[in-house]
Structure 1
């Protein structure tokens, strides 16, 4: 069995250009063909023990980018801390229309104007700014996925709604800018998870009033009791998305105590899972509608039911 070569300290566990390593004399072609190194892209290698997450693939792709190109789209969002990527998703990059780059299945290239002000270096990588990232996702993704992405960027305070609105206005002639404006009307900076975004959009797209996100519920003395993912405060209806973490024993016990406290205060609590949101959206809408009717609210007269 061949021995693994000693790893030069200068190479570590980050991707590198093989041509540069050969020119520096720290590696040989025979060493690169050995078990110590793994080829990721043309002329790009990495230590074979490196875990290949999307960050590593981004770093590999960045080594091949022209100077005026950058990581973009969902890869840029990932770099900024918002992970909405499918497993094994290719790296998304953007470059000016006149630039060319060899096609590769691990890299998706979008050609678009890319002013220097729209690119920064973050974690050592060229990446579109948060506002440009949000703008691109808002105009290129399907509506639900676009709102999920913008919600996440807003929630992390990487982008402010006013900044994205202003940027969209300044680029209103760009393809898809109209879609960004629609996404902005649906976005919610307080949304804490992508599935909460999906649940909210199921409700709104079902023709029901837009619920309030992350509503604090207090008792008659003004003491905090619970925070609801979504709520119609005037109707005392709380709507919760139940992720897998709610199955943990401690969380489950807290949820029961919280649910009982809300019932004592006259609140109706609806709880939905991923199965409901993704596969039974019509049932979600019908149950929320039934709750509103039960509480005597006609949603045809108001876009949002707010506290009285």
Structure 2
């Protein structure tokens, strides 16, 4: 509970705000802002001390939005975060807010803000999201797809497309009308590989590894069924990636699979896959990130054995 309830207007108690505007509106005084009830975030931007969280990226986005110049917008990883796609590092305290500003803008530098000079169409590239100027989902996907390292860019595209409010067709159309932008070749390539059904960053990276190795394209989130004793069919499992023609299932195993209850379910599940005639290949983050050559060879060998 705040120790200064009488001095905290409700409209200033939760989100960051412009100090000069609050003073002009008669909500606070400069002396009050300098007191213990408020935290100073950026130049002329404050937040109530009870709402201050240094790891809250949305709080920092709101703080930045309170001082953005015209035609500027939150973009890139920060825009994706606000759209519900969290691609930021797990520990967000040192992560800056990514801001796109017009080419001639020269805003004051700040360690919590990373500026980029970009050409944004005010009508088509910027929208308002909970009161903040943010690049649209399509523009956000376009920027991440062309600026991030290739594997990270595919992770971003998969995650944004998974929301279903930004489609592959819409992004492809945007790319077609912006052919000369830097990095557009990477976006075009990754659009042919992007998969809205991908459910995790490591699944996206695993899929890209298989593609780059020249292996056949697997089917994502494949439901395996087998004949039941009553003459019908029964559901066996849904696997991350599959080669149905060879009955090969490929699974990414995150850390949560180490939990005892999950491990027990996994044992039952993989025994069921084996009984249905499927070969299940299980890989971890170390396999994807550090032993990719061995991973590819394992999949290649499994295909050769099953196809032969």
1:139-150 to structure 2, matched below 5 A, reads 139-150=146-157
Equivalent of 2:182 in 164, 168, 175:
175
Using the size of structure 2 for normalisation, the TM-score is: 0.91
Q: Is 1:291 paired with 2:268?
A: no
Q: Is 1:23 paired with 2:24?
A: yes
- Aligned to 2:10, the other structure's residue is in SS state coil
Equivalent of 1:79 in 71, 78, 82:
82
Q: Is 1:247 paired with 2:247?
A: no
Once the 2 structures are TM-superposed, how far is the Cα of residue 34 of structure 1 from its aligned partner?
2.3
Q: Note the alpha carbon deviations across 1:101-121, whole angstroms, 9 max, x for none.
A: 211111111112111211111
Q: Note the alpha carbon deviations across 1:132-178, whole angstroms, 9 max, x for none.
A: 11111111111011100000011111211111111101111222211
Equivalent pair of 1:4/1:34 in contact (CA under 8 Å)? no
1:143-292 to structure 2, matched below 5 A, reads 143-220=150-227, 221-292=232-303
The residue that corresponds to 2:117 in the other structure is: 111
Using the size of structure 1 for normalisation, the TM-score is: 0.91
Aligned counterparts of 2:233 and 2:73: Cα–Cα separation in 1:
50
Aligned counterparts of 1:104 and 1:93: Cα–Cα separation in 2:
11
Once the 2 structures are TM-superposed, how far is the Cα of residue 4 of structure 1 from its aligned partner?
4.9
The residue that corresponds to 1:301 in the other structure is: none
Aligned counterparts of 2:36 and 2:289: Cα–Cα separation in 1:
44
Q: Which runs of 5+ in 1 are unaligned?
A: 298-308
- Aligned to 2:214, the other structure's residue is in SS state coil
Aligned counterparts of 2:13 and 2:185: Cα–Cα separation in 1:
45
Aligned residues: 295
Equivalent pair of 1:16/1:60 in contact (CA under 8 Å)? yes
The residue that corresponds to 2:107 in the other structure is: 101
CA RMSD of aligned residues (A): 1.6
